């Protein structure tokens, strides 16, 4: 495809970000040798959460469309793979003919989760992305609430509030270390693919739509087409990560559609830096581990003096970052590195 031509330069090979990425990847590769298995499990889950953050950044940070319903596609990918792996859930329902379908390999099931999420994203995008301003954000904000209702209406199939287990035999790997490496692999592949797309002419057109829709349209860019394309790409990776999360943790429930997950994705991308790809990776790593690990002990200590829990502390951190690094941590780190470079020059 012409649009996928990249604008690589010779200096890209000397980009310090590449060296940092390689070092981080090496550290991630050897981490299981030094970190307890319980923490390895959590860090592996963090890798899959980061895919959610960077996929949301595609539509919001690069195309400028505020999508508050990203968890819809996480949930669609998650329930798609869960039902494909446990088709017996359809027995006795109006979809009982689905109970006899053969169970696909886990990798195929995860990929189908992404594809189904992308298809739903395409349908929703075609209908809603003609809306401008806050109307699109309002419509997407309602979507998770609509899909959550389906869980209760079709509770015999989807498990309702309690959800259901897909079974340990359908895990990404039999042990936490194996799951960790598969999650790391999925993150690296997803980040590379998105990096290639966003560095291509498609990515430049996304940014043109974000920066000025009228100007972009005046130079011949079909703004609706590229909004829908970014929405489909974002939905695919959200569904892929959602499906992988289910095979990582073995259970599925309404939390994959829930508002707290959406807020966590927003926090990760905004604190890391929208429209950067690297920022949401940093933000996703810090926010998910802070929420599920680091802030637990801090909140317990703080609550003895002030009535604050871990979520309240997270929002305080967001306010602090918004004041001191309004464009996100990645922008702040870049400026800091540039100052150091000037001083040493």
Q: Tell me the pLDDT tens digit for each residue of 244-268.
A: 999 999 999 999 998 889 989 999 9
Q: Please state, in angstroms and rounded to a whole number, the distance separating the CA atoms of residues 273 and 60.
A: 11
- Please report the pLDDT score of residue 116 as a whole number: 97
In this predicted structure, what is the pLDDT of residue 340?
63
Confidence of residue 324 (pLDDT cuts 50, 70, 90): confident
pLDDT digits (tens, 9 = 90+) for 32-71: 989 988 899 999 999 999 999 999 999 999 999 999 999 9
Summarised one tens digit per residue, pLDDT across range 326-340 is 777 777 777 666 666
> Mean pLDDT, to the nearest integer, of 117-143?
88
What is the chain's mean pLDDT, rounded? 87
Can you say how many angstroms the Cα of residue 72 is from the centroid of all Cα atoms in its chain?
12
Residue 317, pLDDT score: 77
The larger pLDDT score, comparing residue 297 to residue 172, is at: 172
Say how far apart CA 3 and CA 146 lie, in whole Å.
36
Task: Give 6's strand partners.
Answer: 200
Beta bridge partners of 164: 252
pLDDT band per the 50, 70, 90 thresholds, residue 288: very high
pLDDT, tens digit, for every residue of 302-321?
777 777 777 777 778 778 87
Percent of the chain having pLDDT more than 70? 91
The fraction of the chain above a pLDDT of 90, given in percent, is: 50
pTM of this prediction? 0.91
- 18-27, 102-111, 134-143, range with the lowest pLDDT: 18-27
The CA distance from 212 to 253, in Å, is 40
């Amino acid at each position: 495809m012409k649009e996928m031509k990249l604008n690589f330069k010779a200096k890209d090979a000397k980009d310090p970000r590449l060296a940092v990425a390689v070092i981080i990847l090496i550290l991630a590769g050897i981490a299981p040798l030094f970190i307890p298995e319980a923490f390895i499990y959590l860090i592996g889950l963090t890798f899959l959460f980061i895919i959610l953050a960077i996929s949301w950044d595609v539509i919001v940070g690069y195309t400028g469309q505020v999508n508050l319903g990203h968890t819809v596609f996480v949930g669609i990918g998650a329930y798609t793979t869960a039902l494909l792996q446990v088709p017996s859930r359809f027995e006795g329902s109006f979809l009982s003919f689905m109970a006899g379908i053969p169970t696909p390999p886990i990798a195929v099931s995860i990929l189908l989760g992404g594809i189904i999420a992308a298809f739903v994203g395409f349908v929703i995008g075609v209908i809603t992305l003609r809306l401008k301003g806050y109307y699109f954000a309002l419509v997407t904000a309602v979507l998770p609430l609509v899909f959550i209702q389906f869980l209760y209406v079709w509770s015999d199939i989807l498990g309702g509030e309690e959800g259901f287990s897909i079974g340990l035999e359908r895990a990404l790997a039999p042990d936490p270390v194996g799951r960790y490496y598969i999650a790391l692999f999925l993150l690296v592949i997803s980040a590379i693919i998105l990096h290639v797309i966003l560095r291509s002419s498609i990515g430049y057109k996304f940014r043109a739509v974000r920066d000025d829709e009228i100007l972009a349209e005046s130079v011949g860019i079909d703004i609706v087409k590229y909004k829908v394309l970014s929405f489909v790409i974002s939905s695919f990776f959200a569904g892929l990560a959602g499906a992988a999360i289910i095979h990582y943790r073995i259970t599925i429930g309404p939390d994959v559609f829930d508002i707290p997950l959406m807020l966590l994705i927003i926090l990760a991308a905004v604190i890391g830096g929208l429209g950067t790809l690297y920022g949401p990776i940093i933000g996703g790593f810090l926010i998910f581990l802070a929420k599920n690990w680091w802030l637990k002990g801090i909140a317990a200590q703080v609550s003895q003096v002030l009535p604050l829990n871990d979520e309240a502390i997270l929002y305080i951190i967001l306010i602090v970052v918004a004041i001191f690094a309004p464009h996100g941590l990645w922008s702040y780190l870049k400026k800091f590195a540039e100052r150091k470079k000037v001083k040493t020059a």
